[in-house]
Amino acid sequence: MNEPATLPAEPGSQAEVTELSILDVVRHALRVIMSSLEAEDRIAIVPFGSSAHIAADLTPMDDAGKKLIDRVINTLHPAGTTNLWDGLKHGLNLLVPTARENLKLPVTAPYADGVATKNGRITTLFCLTDGCPNVTPPRGHVDTLAHHLKTNAAYLTGVTIHTFGFGYSLDSALLMHLARVGAGMYAFVPDLGMLGTVFVHALANALSVWATQAALEIEFDGSRVDVEVVGTRAVLNADKQPSSQAGQPLTIPIGDVRYGQSRDIVLRVTPNPDGPSSNAPLLTAVATYLPWSKLEKRTAFTSLHDLTSLSPESAQSVNNESLRIQLADALLHFVSNDRKADLLPRTRIPEPPSKTSNEMGLLAQVTTKLNLSNHPAHADAEGQVNLALEPAHWNKWGRHYLPSLALAHALQRAVNFRDPGQLGYGADCPLFVESRDRANDLFDQLPPPKPAPLPTPQPHISPAPAQTHSATSQSASKRSAVSSMRVWNTRSGPCVAGESLVRTPSGEHRIDQLCRGDEVLTPLGPRQIVAVLRTQVFAHGVDLCTIDGLRVTPWHPIRRPDGDWVFPSKIASAARTASEDCPFVFSLLLAPDAHADAHAFFVGKTAVVTLGSGASDDVRKHDFLGNWVAIASALTAMPGWSEPSGVVRCSGTTRRGEAGEISGFLPNHSAEDPASGVTAPFTENFTAALECRT
């Protein structure tokens, strides 16, 4: 965790070691959370290793409180053990007056007892860990947490628990089950490149909560209809449908409800042709929820008297939501549903499912349906999910990634900027978007933390001279300074902004005005365009380097007149560009040629590589992007390929394996053209309790 933080690098290239440690970057993310809160909000921090302690009591986020919390963040240090339950318990007990009496509290800002601390606040626990628990409560973590929440319901009703797993030494199934008991999310953070986007979305989701503890109760006449909830695991968190007893409603947990964001549940209602006739409703749905004021629970209800055909619009909506839930359900079948698995001895990692398993068959069926319906989640199912299930990736990151993605779709929450299928959740909620974008800007704009001291090398005796050197042994003089934290908050692929002027035989033309059949000037003369790849820039924007009139993503190889092929990030710093200023980025596929230099175009005097160059001895080398046949094959399956213009519509890239190497393109079926890594363990485990005044 004290190891140096490396800058994100294109797979295959040497990652540049910085003066910051991994913990420094985590501290920065905590400061983003702190800076996003208002004076009436409060935050507490509870580190846990072999045991937990209160580093900061609930502290108002006025200027004095933020200075205090900033000092606490600086005291966080690595811990070698993981007493997860002690961390959760201490974080929750800060909110229980009777339990607070037994806590060893630091001398910080005074805690204000009484109703005023609970009403009008949304309370959220962020639990972050980079290891498997080595201390387990007798009941197991999940049942112990459920019992603790029930026992202290008078104070903990409405508290939401989110869990975050860093790195790969995790029990992701356990972290997911803890989050579900706490009506929250589990987020997998494989590397520092994902740290910023995960924290930004988690905070935005927490700040846009309108009501907690929501549930849907379905009352129906079992003699007249049968009711089944779509998504047994995704929605009910169960292995089978509950039995419907006479007079007992079917209860569906909902959890948090956010401003401007719907929660959609799909029911299969089957009439009994032999059932009795009646004027009473076939089904009544009652929603209960606890508004942020927490004064009293409220209800809303609706009734269904007959089963009629849906309008085409309603039928399409029901189909889309059903497919979303089915995908989440299929993914959760790859995750252990044993709430007491942590009581068993930890053995080897479960083998990835075989190609012929029932789980793989179910996922294949859902993926086909998503594809036929042009559903946004199809990009996830065909992309990272397929990779995660490959034996080469399952043990490293696949088994951690699937539960995180499954909950994102099950709960309709955007959790990062990387997975394209979940980017639409919350997009129509101004509060969520505003909170997300503000936190995103803070992550980029807050000054980098002061570097922590280098770890002191430990003397050792070796029978032979060491032949390798770890990053931690590098001297400070070889560690690069960091001027902006944006480098750990990006997902740019190789492309060029649309206004860039490309040199052609007839003059200069904007790249966004070129199409199939046009010619561009290459270092070896004119060459015809086969296809134009147009990729949409989403609301979070794109990082671009500006070099002599060329705006290009940091990892798109270029060559200056007097230099070699390099990544733009080596010449100019990247700047975040809003989607309004750069709605699309572009790449070109030129006619095939055996010479790599025939696969480039000029913007001014700068040569820019095109897709499929075939280069093998410089930064242009890439297993996918440099393979002309693979590129052409991928583009033929994309929307726009068969059109005369040859402008192929793309929504992002798929990435392969732990290094995140680009391996394919994601289709963009929208009419308007609406995308994961390697590190050492990173951080001290801790629980952060947030209380936000709404």
What pLDDT is recorded for position 319?
92
- The answer to whether residue 576 scores a pLDDT higher than 80 is no
In this prediction, residue 457 has a pLDDT band, given cuts at 50, 70 and 90, of very low
Q: Which residues pair with 251 in a beta bridge?
A: 217
Q: With 80 as the cut, is the pLDDT of residue 454 above it?
A: no
Summarised one tens digit per residue, pLDDT across range 485-503 is 655 555 556 789 999 999 9
Pair 167, 679: CB distance under 8 Å: yes
Across the range 395-423, mean pLDDT stands at 91
| pLDDT exceeds cutoff 70 at 404 | yes
Cα 591 to chain center, whole Å?
38
Give the CB-side neighbour count of residue 2, counting CA atoms within 13 A.
Answer: 14
pLDDT of residue 510: 95
Domain assignment present for 197: no
Predicted local distance difference test score (pLDDT) of residue 522 = 96
Q: Positive or negative CA dihedral for 127, 133, 136, 139?
A: positive
Please enumerate, as own/partner, the contacts of 360-368 that have beta carbons within 8 Å and a separation of 24 or more.
360/389, 362/330, 362/333, 363/330, 363/331, 363/333, 363/389, 366/323, 366/326, 366/327, 366/330, 367/327
Give domain status of residue 402, yes or no.
no
> Does residue 608 carry a pLDDT above 90?
yes
Give the range of the structural domain holding residue 309, as residue numbers without chain letter: 211-317
Residue 108 is predicted with a pLDDT of: 58
Q: What's the CA gap between 395 and 390, in Å, rounded?
A: 9
Contact residues for 196 (Cβ-Cβ < 8 A; gap 6+): 29, 32, 440, 443, 485, 488, 489
Least confident of 416-425, 550-559, 617-626, 669-678: 669-678
Exposure class string for 227-245: b at 16+ Cβ within 10 A, else e: bebbbbbbbbbeeeeeebe
Q: Is a pLDDT exceeding 50 seen at residue 119? A: yes
pLDDT of residue 16: 60
CA distance 621 to 557: 10
Look at residue 145 and tell me whether its pLDDT is greater than 60.
yes
* The domain boundary residue, chosen from 261, 292, 317: 317
Average per-residue pLDDT for the chain = 82
Report yes or no on 175 lying in a domain.
no
Sign, Cα dihedral of 348, 353, 355, 356: positive
> How much is the average pLDDT of 51-77?
91
pLDDT at 23: 76
Q: What tokens appear for 593 in the block?
A: 């040629």
CA distance 681 to 191: 9
Least-confidence region, from 493-502, 531-540, 609-618? 531-540
- Whether 598 shows a pLDDT value over 90: the answer reads yes
- Within 8 A by CB and 6+ apart from 492, the residues are 542, 543, 544, 553, 554, 555, 574
Angle between helices 192-207 and 430-445 (to 10 degrees): 140
C-beta of residue 632 within 8 angstroms of C-beta of residue 612 = yes
Residue 555, domain member (yes or no): yes
Helix (H, G, I), strand (E, B) or coil at 688: strand
**pLDDT tens for each residue of 316-355:** 899 999 999 999 999 999 998 888 888 776 656 667 777 7
Whether the pLDDT of residue 98 is over 60: the answer is yes
Whether residue 467 is predicted with pLDDT greater than 90 in this model: the reply is no
Compute how many other C-beta atoms are within 10 angstroms of the C-beta atom of residue 687: 27
Query: Tokens 């995908």 identify what position?
Result: 327
The answer as to whether 673 is a domain residue is no
Q: Is the pLDDT of residue 208 over 90?
A: yes
- In this model, does residue 135 exceed pLDDT 90? no
User: Tokens in use for 641?
Assistant: 């390929």
pLDDT digits (tens, 9 = 90+) for 257-316: 999 889 999 999 888 888 888 888 888 999 998 887 666 677 887 888 777 777 888 888
Q: Give the model's pLDDT for residue 5.
A: 62
Domain's final residue, options 262, 293, 317:
317
d(CA 263, CA 283): 19
Rounded CA-CA distance 208/205 in Å is 5
Confidence band of 15 (pLDDT split at 50, 70, 90): low
pLDDT at 466: 33
Assess contact for 418 and 676: CB atoms under 8 A. Answer: yes
Q: Is the pLDDT of residue 395 over 50?
A: yes
Is the Cβ–Cβ distance between 529 and 516 less than 8 Å?
yes
Q: Is residue 681 part of a domain?
A: no
Paired sense of beta strands 160-166 and 121-129, if any: parallel
For residue 682, the model assigns a pLDDT of 40
Amino acid at 253: P
Most confident of 73-77, 519-523, 630-634: 519-523
Spell out the long-range contacts of 517-523 with Cβ–Cβ below 8 A and sequence spacing 24 or more. 517/646, 520/588, 520/590, 520/601, 520/602, 521/601, 521/602, 522/590, 522/597, 522/598, 522/599, 522/600, 522/601, 522/602, 523/597, 523/598, 523/600, 523/607
Q: % helix / strand / coil in the chain, to the nearest 5?
A: 30, 25, 45
Split at pLDDT 50, 70, 90, the class of 462 is very low
Mean pLDDT of 405-433: 90
What 3-state class would DSSP assign to 656?
A: strand
Give the dihedral sign, CA 31/40/212/314. negative
Rounded to an integer, the average pLDDT of 43-68 is 92
pLDDT of residue 348: 60
Residues in Cβ contact with 442 at an 8 Å cutoff, skipping those fewer than 6 apart: 32, 35, 36
- Residue range 433-458: average pLDDT? 74
Given 317, 343, 375, the domain boundary residue is: 317
Alpha-carbon gap, residue 210 to 255, rounded angstroms? 11
- The residues, ordered by sequence, that sit 6+ positions from 274 with a Cβ below 8 Å of its Cβ are none
DSSP structure class, residue 596:
G
Q: Is the pLDDT of residue 382 over 90?
A: no
Give the C-alpha separation, 525 to 591, whole Å: 12
pLDDT of residue 169: 85
* Per-residue confidence (pLDDT) for residue 674, from 0 to 100: 36
Do 415 and 422 touch, CB atoms closer than 8 A? yes
118 belongs to a structural domain:
no
Q: Express each pLDDT in 642-678 by its tens digit.
A: 888 999 999 888 776 555 678 888 887 654 443 323 3
Count: domains in the chain: 2
pLDDT recorded at residue 278:
82
| Residue at token pair 């859902």 | 366
More confident of the two residues 416 and 574: 416
Residue 286 in domain: yes
Q: How many CB atoms lie within 10 A of CB 116?
A: 9
Tell me which residue of 619, 612, 584 sits closest to 522, measured CA to CA: 612
**pLDDT at residue number 202:** 94
Bridge partners for 54 per DSSP: none
Handedness of CA 396, 397, 403, 406 (dihedral sign): negative
DSSP E strand boundaries for 224-273: 225-229, 250-258, 267-271
Rounded to an integer, the average pLDDT of 34-41 is: 91
pLDDT in tens, 210-263: 998 899 999 888 888 889 999 999 999 988 888 766 567 889 999 999 998 899
434 C-beta neighbours (distance < 10 Å), count: 13
